[in-house]
């Protein structure tokens, strides 16, 4: 359970010469911080008489952001597992017979597919956090609008970071249909989130005056 580790110990492990945790774990934490900040803005808006008109909508946003936070927190550890599975498969004995060689290749390819889908799922979750940030930037308590801006920036960083891990694994996948399908979805997520993030950050900056 990656989330039980202290922040300092996680940063020590991240900085170390071990390959995990790496950028994939950092991506998930960025996304989870974004989701947490969306929740914070909701929690500081719901129940305030001034914001009664948006209360029902922000309660729905809060339920979503808390679900995303839970999934992104789990994703911190998933990245390590997926990476270790790839390394484990590459480390298998190369095999003598064609059958043994083919079995090793199949295991490597299966691990690479998983190691592509895990960061792609992280990217999807981060993209959803970007969308929720938009609601809280527009409708949340003005006193904490800067936190909505940090939310979108963190979620976007998580998405851009996860994207690199999708690419690095997808390029070694022999099933090109599988790989190209994932890369196409990734491009769509990135393209939409890029323009949304710029707009949302701009809204927050304007509201700060």
Please give the residue ranges that form the binding site for a copy of itself (CB under 8 A).
Answer: 1-8, 10-12, 14-17, 19, 22-23, 26-27, 29-30, 32-33, 35-37, 39-40, 43-44, 65-66, 69, 73, 76, 144, 146-147, 149-151, 153-154, 156-157, 160-161, 164-165, 167-168, 171, 201, 204-205, 208-209
- Write down the H helix ranges in 45-97: 55-90
Give me the least distance between CB of 62 and a copy of itself, in Å please: 9
Task: Using CA atoms of 11, 15, 19, 20 in order, give the dihedral in degrees to the nearest 10.
Answer: 0
Taking alpha carbons only, the member of 194, 112, 120, 113 closest to residue 153 is 194
Is 76:7 a contact under the CB 8 Å cutoff?
no
Residue closer to a copy of itself (CB basis): 76 or 85: 76
Burial letters 8-36, b for 16+ CB under 10 A, else e = eebeebeeeeeebbebbbbbbbbbbbbbb
Residue closer to a copy of itself (CB basis): 113 or 153: 153
Give me the least distance between CB of 102 and a copy of itself, in Å please: 25
Give me the least distance between CB of 160 and a copy of itself, in Å please: 5
Residue closer to a copy of itself (CB basis): 16 or 95: 16
Residue closer to a copy of itself (CB basis): 30 or 89: 30
Tell me how far apart the alpha carbons of residues 157 and 93 are, in angstroms, rounded to a whole number. Answer: 38
Give me the least distance between CB of 97 and a copy of itself, in Å please: 30
């Amino acid at each position: 359970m990656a989330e039980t580790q202290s922040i300092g110990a996680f940063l020590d492990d991240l900085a170390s010469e071990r390959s995990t945790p790496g950028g994939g774990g950092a991506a998930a934490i960025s996304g989870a911080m974004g989701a947490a900040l969306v929740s914070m803005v909701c929690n500081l808006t719901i129940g305030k008489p001034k914001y009664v008109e948006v209360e029902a909508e922000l309660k729905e946003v809060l339920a979503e952001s808390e679900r995303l936070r839970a999934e992104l927190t789990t994703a911190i550890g998933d990245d390590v597992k997926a990476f270790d599975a790839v390394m484990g498969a590459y480390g298998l004995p190369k095999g003598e017979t064609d059958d043994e060689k083919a079995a090793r290749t199949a295991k490597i390819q299966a691990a690479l597919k998983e190691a592509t889908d895990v960061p792609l799922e992280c990217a999807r979750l981060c993209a959803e956090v970007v969308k929720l940030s938009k609601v809280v930037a527009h409708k949340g308590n003005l006193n904490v609008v800067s936190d909505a801006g940090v939310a979108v920036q963190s979620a976007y960083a998580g998405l851009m970071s996860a994207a690199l891990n999708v690419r690095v694994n997808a390029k070694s996948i022999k099933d090109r249909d599988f790989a190209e399908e994932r890369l196409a979805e990734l491009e769509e997520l990135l393209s939409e989130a890029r323009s949304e993030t710029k707009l949302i950050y701009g809204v927050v900056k304007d509201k700060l005056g």
